[in-house]
Structure 1
Amino acid sequence: MKPIRALSNADEVVRLLGSEGDMSPAEIAERLDIPRPSVYRLLDGLESIGLTESVPGSRARLNLRWLHLADQARESMVEWAGARELLSELVERTSQTAYLTVLRGHEAVCLEWEQGRAVGVLLLKPGRSLPLYAGAAGRTCLAFGVNVEEYLDTVTERRAYTADTLTSDAALRADVEATRRRGYVFSDEDVTDGIAAIGVPIRGSRGQLLGALSVSGIKVEYLAKRDAYLEALLDVAGRLASLNEAAIQ
């Protein structure tokens, strides 16, 4: 079990550096509740294989090798080959930032995006994730991709991003029911103030969730153009589903 525990601790260190940036071994030890000597050993090991590097001030940061690894990981997902072109088309039709996300555990992870011509919405971009209780992508995955009661029992700590983030069991159950009934999510400032998003599921031929497709931008535009955005999303989501299933046959 010791190697498994060491790998788990190394994973936590990498995730922390990825979210917080440069940190000292003492800061890492305090945040993760890992003994400082263990943190030094983990950082030495990660640096020896080119995943972290030392920077001035006795701090550690992720190595640029992660950029290459991220590109390789995305290119290996042949089931989404061609998704970027469809996202570009979606941006042309809506002017909004478009996201392709997939369900991974208790998170919605962004695989691909295309920057819109309106406002830059940068909280979610390739490699980053949102919890399933927040945002158009996350709430789409919650409604169509997981056992909701098991999720609510497991993920009990839910940080509110804004005053409109849904965090209670009752609110999330009601949202899932409404989402399944209408077939899409409308995210109304529940991740970023002033920003709205619409998300739809990408579903396979057996009804299984393949991913989520969403567009995000300034809220006032969504109130006026929701129907047009939804029409474009549903069209592109259907074509992404066909592309995905054709690639893996």
Structure 2
Amino acid sequence: MDLLNLFQNHLKLSINDMTKLSGIPKTSVHRMIGSLEQMGFLCKDEDGQYTLGLLFLQFGNLVAERLDIRNISLQVMEKLRDDIGEAVHLVLRDGEETMYIEKLDTHHPVRLFTKIGKKAPLYAGASSRTILAFMPQEEREAYLESVVLKPIGCGTMTDKDKLRASLERSQRDGYSFSRSELENYTAELSVPIFDHTGQAIAALSIAGLEVRFDEEHMPELITKIKAAAHEISSKLGYNGHSY
């Protein structure tokens, strides 16, 4: 594993490179490389340089196919819900909309009515805007050029300049916040979830009555939801810096 881990930061390595970088005696490196090459974990090119073998691609595809983001996220979402006492949502993109694929209700007697399968346009609500903000730039701009912004709640953004400014803030700050955009008198705070390639593939959000998201509590909520999203992203193979 010490030898294989070297290839996380190096595309190709010679035996001398691996000996120097690992600190393992050259005779041991030579012996281990022979075994790794025989099993298909390493491949030697015509210049005597080693690269990771195609076996890693096969394993990688299997892992990717078997990952279930709902199962991976659920335990983290439960901890977050119990900690902050607000509803927690997991949201994915579905074309030009987003869809709630998991929801944990708050224990408050007064709560939001949202359900798994609920959809929202990409421009409305914190979760949707998080996904829109972290989409590839060309794809995001093509959407913004073509979409017609229609009001849903009393706080829905219907001005494209304001929407673009909000998306820039989301990219800069690492979170999105909305008030009364999908449902009046409610608020939502959302952050992106990244996969092993660094691509934002989902949004994690907390939502509740607007009065419970006051300025005094926002810094703490932002810190906690970012930590939860980073934990989920790490489970998906993301190795970037904390949010």
CA distance in 1, matches of 2:208, 2:196: 30
TM-score (norm 1): 0.63
Report whether the alignment pairs 1:183 with 2:183: no
Alignment RMSD: 1.8
From 163, 179, 203, the counterpart of 1:212: 203
Per the alignment, residue 125 of structure 2 pairs with: 135
CA distance in 2, matches of 1:212, 1:132: 12
Q: CA deviation at 1:155?
A: 2.0
Per the alignment, residue 220 of structure 2 pairs with: 228
CA distance in 1, matches of 2:98, 2:69: 17
Which amino acid letter does the alignment assign opposite residue 148 of structure 1? R
Pick the structure with greater CA Rg: 2
Number of matched pairs? 169
CA distance in 1, matches of 2:236, 2:97: 21
**Structure richer in helix, relative to its length:** 1
Determine what percentage of the aligned residue pairs are the same residue. Answer: 28
Identify unmatched segments of 5+ residues in structure 2: 1-65, 239-243
TM-score (norm 2): 0.65
Which amino acid letter does the alignment assign opposite residue 194 of structure 1? Y
CA distance in 1, matches of 2:201, 2:235: 11
From 155, 175, 179, the counterpart of 2:147: 155
CA distance in 2, matches of 1:139, 1:94: 22
SS at match of 1:166: coil
CA distance in 1, matches of 2:237, 2:93: 17
Per the alignment, residue 95 of structure 1 pairs with: 85
| Structure 1 residue ranges (4+ consecutive) displaced by more than 4 angstroms after TM superposition | none
From 141, 153, 157, the counterpart of 1:166: 157
CA distance in 2, matches of 1:178, 1:132: 16
CA distance in 2, matches of 1:163, 1:81: 35
Q: In the alignment, is the contact (CA less than 8 A) between 2:125 and 2:188 conserved in 1?
A: yes
CA distance in 2, matches of 1:230, 1:131: 23
Per the alignment, residue 144 of structure 1 pairs with: 134
SS at match of 2:217: helix
Q: In the alignment, is the contact (CA less than 8 A) between 2:179 and 2:188 conserved in 1?
A: yes
Identify unmatched segments of 5+ residues in structure 1: 1-75
Q: CA deviation at 1:126?
A: 1.1
1:206 and 1:77, CA in 2 relative to 1: closer, same or farther beyond 3 A? Answer: closer
Q: In the alignment, is the contact (CA less than 8 A) between 1:79 and 1:243 conserved in 2?
A: no
Q: In the alignment, is the contact (CA less than 8 A) between 1:140 and 1:179 conserved in 2?
A: yes
CA distance in 1, matches of 2:183, 2:155: 9
Q: CA deviation at 1:230?
A: 1.1
From 164, 185, 191, the counterpart of 1:194: 185
User: What's the CA shift string for 1:82-108, capped at 9, x where partnerless?
Assistant: 322211111111100000011121111
Q: CA deviation at 1:211?
A: 0.6
Q: CA deviation at 1:205?
A: 4.1
CA distance in 2, matches of 1:161, 1:92: 30
User: What's the CA shift string for 1:167-215, capped at 9, x where partnerless?
Assistant: 2221211111111111111112222221111000112343211210000
Report whether the alignment pairs 1:239 with 2:231: yes
Q: In the alignment, is the contact (CA less than 8 A) between 2:70 and 2:102 conserved in 1?
A: no
Q: In the alignment, is the contact (CA less than 8 A) between 1:141 and 1:211 conserved in 2?
A: yes
User: What's the CA shift string for 1:41-96, capped at 9, x where partnerless?
Assistant: xxxxxxxxxxxxxxxxxxxxxxxxxxxxxxxxxxx862432322211111111100
Q: In the alignment, is the contact (CA less than 8 A) between 1:84 and 1:113 conserved in 2?
A: no
Which amino acid letter does the alignment assign opposite residue 243 of structure 1? K
Q: CA deviation at 1:160?
A: 0.6
